[in-house]
């Protein structure tokens, strides 16, 4: 069903191997924050995946109805609901992939960093439970500010003695989805053909689309580069303003997150050709975390693709240097938060 619908043509060529995949694949996926604006459509998309045997929906409220509703879809996965802190541990037992979109979204005029105080605590609590109940799972962090919440998650996992940097991912797929869409529109290309790597982080100028590395290879005028880069960086704000107080991107985000889940499941299932951009612990730059294309395998990140950062345009080189101080500060803010906690 879903397999393939998320992928660009470039990625699809890698899926020719899919007939090798186990037809009885059965992975358990938990969504923490499942009743929210992202959580609900994300649950629906994951419910359509043939690779999932059980979908665990956790939230502090309103999750029973979402699960009852979703459970009537006649796709293979079983849907279970878990409400409130007392059911959090059970929601995580034997889970292979945990997706975390819990937290508050932006309202007009807010930056992602304005969400820090609330979401930092939520992510900390949830990741502690992940560490205690399914330390071996892939962890996908959606809650903003991702540039800080991923370092927080890493520190929490370290404190619990179970940190595996290969299995902690900040979800930046939406930046790639947006870049692909906007470039295809601008250049009149078939959407399915376009793949733009996006590196750096997930907020404002830390989002750096590498237009010079677009597949298929196309050239952009300086003006186009500036305009497209700014639009990709501000696309989230475009949605926040259009929703005028009703939240931030949820449907396109769910689409991006579902693509990342599906890629992770294919990797777990033995597909040897899975690549996604994601914000991970990284040695690509001097920063401890950095988003780039990575190869994902059964054990998580198998390789960080360094070639994307070679042969950058002058514009991209400058933008890369310009984003580093902000990204560094956001990472350090996350680490400091997690370390000062009792």
Q: Per rule CB under 6 A, is residue 197 in the interface with ligand NAI?
A: no
- Cα 110 from Cα 8, distance rounded (Å): 32
Among 233, 248, 263, 285, binds ligand NAI (CB under 6 A): 248
Choose which of 2, 8, 27, 36 interacts with ligand NAI (CB under 6 A): 36
Instruction: Tell which residue, 262, 287, 33, has the closest CA to residue 143.
Output: 33
- Interhelix angle 251-268/39-47, nearest 10 degrees: 40
Asked whether position 201 contacts ligand NAI by CB under 6 A, the answer is no
Does residue 253 belong to the site contacting ligand NAI (CB under 6 A)? yes
* Whether residue 19 lies in the annotated active site: no
Smallest gap from Cβ 133 to ligand NAI, in A, equals 14
**Quick one: which of 61, 72, 244, 310 contacts ligand NAI (CB under 6 A)?**
61
Q: Which is nearer to ligand NAI, 39 or 204 (CB)?
A: 39
251 sits near ligand NAI (criterion: CB under 6 A) = no
Considering only 21, 60, 89, 205, the residue that binds ligand NAI (CB under 6 A) is: 60
Q: Kindly state whether residue 334 participates in binding ligand NAI, applying the rule CB under 6 A.
A: no
Give the separation between CA 160 and CA 133, rounded to whole angstroms.
11
Report whether the peptide linkage leading into residue 314 is cis, meaning its omega lies within 30 degrees of zero.
Answer: no
Q: Min. distance of Cβ 223 from ligand NAI in angstroms?
A: 27
CB 149 within 8 A of CB 171: no
Q: Which is nearer to ligand NAI, 60 or 218 (CB)?
A: 60
Neighbour count for residue 145 (Cβ, 10 Å): 26
Q: Which of 19, 72, 140, 202 is catalytic?
A: 202
Contact 317, 133 (CB under 8 A): no
Q: Does 263 bind ligand NAI (CB under 6 A)?
A: no
Distances in whole angstroms, Cα of residue 268 to Cα of each of 68, 125, 137, 157, 272: 28, 26, 10, 21, 9
Give the residue among 287, 44, 1 at the shortest CA–CA distance from 147. Answer: 287
Which residue's CB comes closest to ligand NAI? Answer: 36
Answer left, alpha or beta for residue 189, where phi above 0 means left and psi between -120 and 50 means alpha: beta
Given candidates 95, 171, 274, 327, which one binds ligand NAI under the rule CB under 6 A? 171
C-alpha angle with apex 129: 278 to 341, nearest 5 degrees? Answer: 85
Regarding 276 and contact with ligand NAI (CB under 6 A), the answer is no
Residue from 92, 122, 139, 287 that binds ligand NAI (CB under 6 A)? Answer: 122
139 contributes a contact to ligand NAI by CB under 6 A: no
Tokens at 325, concatenated:
């101080």
Q: Examine residue 147 and tell whether it contacts ligand NAI (CB under 6 A).
A: no
Q: How far apart are CA 324 and CA 244, in angstroms?
A: 31
Is 144 a binder of ligand NAI (CB under 6 A)?
yes
**Would you count residue 101 as binding ligand NAI (CB under 6 A)?**
yes
Q: Angle 314-340/116-133 helices, nearest 10 degrees?
A: 70
Active site residues: 202
Could you list the residues that contact ligand NAI (CB under 6 A)?
32-33, 35-39, 59-61, 101-106, 115, 119, 122, 125-126, 142-144, 146, 171, 174, 202, 247-250, 253
């Amino acid at each position: 069903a879903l397999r393939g619908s998320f992928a660009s043509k470039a990625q699809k060529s890698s899926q020719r191997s899919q007939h090798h995949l186990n037809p009885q694949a059965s992975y358990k996926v938990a969504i923490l924050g499942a009743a929210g604006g992202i959580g609900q459509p994300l649950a629906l998309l994951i419910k359509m995946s043939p690779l999932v045997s059980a979908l665990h929906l956790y939230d502090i409220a309103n999750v029973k109805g979402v699960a009852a509703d979703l459970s009537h879809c006649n796709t293979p996965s079983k849907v279970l609901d878990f409400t409130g802190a007392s059911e959090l541990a059970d929601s995580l037992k034997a889970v292979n992939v945990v997706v975390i979109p819990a937290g508050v979204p932006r309202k007009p005029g807010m930056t992602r960093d304005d969400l820090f105080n609330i979401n930092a605590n939520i992510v900390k609590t949830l990741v502690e439970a992940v560490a205690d109940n399914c330390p071996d799972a892939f962890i996908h962090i959606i809650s903003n500010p991702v540039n800080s919440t991923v370092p927080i998650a890493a520190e929490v996992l370290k404190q619990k003695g179970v940190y595996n940097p290969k299995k902690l991912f900040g979800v930046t797929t939406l930046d790639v989805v947006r870049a692909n869409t906007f470039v295809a529109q601008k250049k009149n290309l078939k959407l399915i053909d376009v793949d733009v790597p996006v590196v750096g982080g997930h907020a404002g100028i830390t989002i750096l689309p590498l237009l010079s590395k677009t597949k298929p290879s196309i050239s952009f005028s300086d003006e186009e580069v500036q305009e497209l880069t700014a639009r990709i960086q501000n696309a989230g704000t475009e949605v926040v303003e259009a929703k005028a107080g009703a939240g931030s991107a949820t449907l396109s985000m769910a689409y991006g997150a579902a693509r990342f889940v599906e890629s992770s499941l294919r990797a777990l299932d033995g597909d040897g050709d899975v690549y996604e951009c994601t914000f991970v612990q990284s040695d690509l730059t001097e920063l401890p975390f950095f988003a780039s294309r990575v190869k994902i395998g059964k054990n998580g990140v198998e390789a960080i693709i360094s070639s994307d950062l070679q042969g950058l345009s002058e514009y991209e080189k400058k933008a890369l240097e310009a984003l580093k101080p902000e990204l560094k500060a956001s990472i350090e803010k996350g680490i400091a938060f997690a370390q000062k906690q009792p």
